[in-house]
């Protein structure tokens, strides 16, 4: 976006193919800490904060940052870093929503996709209205607490450890109210991408969680079957945030099954 600073990001590892980690909502790039540490030994790993999340600031309280705009900003970041080779993308939930837009508009910039705990349908009108109400409340209260009270019970299963709950809450509290509101409006505006599935050219690994309340395994398996080249896995005992809930299992799954 003209005049804007490039997305805040972290980079680890000097050699090997590029792995691009795209986070979910309402967290930021630091959710991938244990993945970056693990994979930086063999790969060049990059994790941006989406616009509005973490340190990729938004100051205007009225704006919407769409998934399409997030994708454009991710490409601007790769350009800024001089990365012209196709990258291997790992997207979690909102990271997956942005992955669909990247694959649709910039297919030549991707080598493969790992789609974790994500969806292909748009919000229902009721869900979209709920997000707009939550955006207004977040701005009014100048806090992430309303988002956390609605979302944490859906992001994490009851079996999640208190440390994981605390970590998710901490990551959400590090965003500004303006940023959280801009992303909520963008999530509400995201398109249904079901018709794109059969046109996807990349090899895909689809990872779901047995206890995921937001993107249940049956729903994910049904859309994964429409991808021309995909493998579907369901991880036992985890909800929507497997990289945080079970990092060793998630890393091992990527190491064994990712298409790189």
Neighbours of 84 (CB within 10 A): 10
By CB under 6 A, the residues from 187 to 216 that bind ligand MLT are: 187, 214
**Angle, CA 10 vertex, CA 6 and CA 16 arms, to 5°:** 110
Pairing of strands 110-116, 87-92: parallel
176 binds ligand MLT (CB under 6 A): no
Residue 25 sits in the site that holds ligand MLT (CB under 6 A):
yes
Q: Smallest gap, in angstroms, from Cβ of residue 94 to ligand MLT?
A: 3
Q: Does 94 bind ligand MLT (CB under 6 A)?
A: yes
Q: How many CB atoms lie within 10 A of CB 142?
A: 10
Nearer of residues 104 and 122 to ligand MLT, judged by Cβ: 122
Contact between 146 and ligand MLT (CB under 6 A)?
A: no
Question: Is residue 24 at the binding interface for ligand MLT, with CB under 6 A as the rule?
Answer: yes
Give least dist CB 252 to ligand MLT, A.
22
Rounded to a whole number of angstroms, the minimum distance from the CB of residue 17 to ligand MLT is 25
**Residue 128: its H or E element:** helix 125-141
Looking at beta carbons only, is 25 or 39 nearer to ligand MLT? 25
Q: How far apart are CA 117 and CA 123, in angstroms?
A: 16
Q: Which residue is nearest to ligand MLT (CB)?
A: 93
Q: Dig out the tokens for 78 from the structure.
A: 């790769």
Residue whose C-alpha is closest to residue 249's, from 208, 188, 197, 196 = 208
Binding site for ligand MLT (CB under 6 A): 24-25, 93-94, 187, 214, 240
């Amino acid at each position: 976006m003209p005049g804007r600073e490039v997305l805040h990001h972290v980079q680890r590892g000097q050699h090997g193919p590029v792995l691009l980690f795209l986070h979910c909502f309402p967290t930021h790039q630091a959710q991938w800490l244990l993945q970056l540490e693990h994979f930086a030994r063999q790969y060049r790993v990059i994790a941006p904060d989406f616009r509005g999340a973490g340190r990729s600031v938004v100051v205007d309280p009225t704006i919407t940052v769409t998934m399409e705009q997030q994708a454009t900003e991710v490409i601007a970041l790769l350009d800024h870093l001089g990365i012209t080779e196709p990258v291997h993308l790992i997207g979690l939930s909102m990271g997956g929503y942005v992955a669909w837009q990247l694959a649709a508009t910039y297919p030549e910039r991707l080598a493969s996709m790992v789609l974790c705990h994500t969806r292909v349908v748009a919000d229902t009108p009721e869900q979209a209205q709920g997000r707009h109400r939550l955006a207004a409340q977040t701005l009014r209260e100048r806090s992430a607490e309303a988002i956390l009270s609605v979302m944490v019970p859906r992001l994490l299963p009851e079996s999640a450890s208190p440390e994981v709950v605390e970590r998710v809450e901490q990551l959400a509290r590090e965003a500004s109210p303006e940023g959280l509101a801009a992303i909520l409006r963008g999530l509400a505006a995201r398109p249904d991408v079901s018709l794109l599935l059969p046109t996807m050219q990349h090899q895909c690994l689809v990872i779901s969680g047995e206890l995921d309340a937001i993107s249940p395994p049956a729903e994910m398996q049904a859309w994964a079957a429409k991808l021309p080249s995909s493998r579907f896995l369901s991880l036992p005992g985890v909800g929507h945030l497997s990289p945080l809930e079970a990092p060793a299992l998630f890393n091992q799954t990527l190491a064994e099954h990712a298409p790189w």
